[in-house]
């Protein structure tokens, strides 16, 4: 048994063997420990790993892709741009956080959603932690759904509709 120093099988060595080669995710607490429907948490995990089918990923695989972001029509589409840097997305973040009365600035285009959540978490009063976590997961999910409506159903981008 190669998974223990003495060459003997133990439950502990078997458990450690199952973890061999696994990767860690620094956003696990936000992704898996906060309230949100499973599909939203799964989307957040894929977005964190840059596994969403945005234009840059389609291009890497040699597939047809739009030249510009369908929401803002200003820059090429990456998951970072779509969820944080696009002017449309920035407006959605600002309006949603204002409507929810969450007293913090929207994430900037240079940070990740997880790093923004961690810094906002420390500044927020404890009773608002759940609403912050939920909105941190649900706003990107709604942006992604609206993006897909624009791409596949030819819907015009609208902050009010979102």
Q: Would you say how long the chain is, in residues?
A: 162
Q: Per residue in 53-65, pLDDT tens?
A: 998 898 899 998 8
Alpha-carbon gap, residue 57 to 82, rounded angstroms:
13
Q: Per residue in 19-44, pLDDT tens?
A: 777 666 666 777 788 888 999 999 99
pTM of the entire predicted model? 0.80
């Amino acid at each position: 048994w190669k998974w223990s120093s003495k060459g003997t099988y133990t439950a502990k060595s078997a458990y450690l063997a199952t973890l061999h080669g696994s990767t860690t995710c620094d956003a696990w607490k936000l992704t898996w420990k906060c309230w949100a429907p499973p599909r939203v948490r799964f989307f957040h995990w894929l977005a964190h790993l840059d596994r969403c089918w945005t234009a840059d990923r389609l291009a890497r695989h040699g597939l047809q892709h739009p030249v510009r972001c369908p929401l803002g029509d200003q820059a090429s589409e990456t998951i970072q741009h779509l969820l944080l840097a696009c002017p449309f997305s920035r407006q959605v973040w600002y309006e949603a956080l204002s409507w929810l009365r969450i007293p913090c600035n929207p994430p900037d285009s240079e940070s990740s959603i997880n790093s923004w959540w961690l810094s906002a978490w420390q500044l927020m009063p404890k009773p608002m932690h759940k609403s912050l976590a939920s909105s941190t997961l649900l706003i990107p999910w709604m942006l992604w759904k609206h993006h897909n409506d624009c791409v596949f159903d030819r819907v015009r981008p609208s902050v009010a509709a979102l």
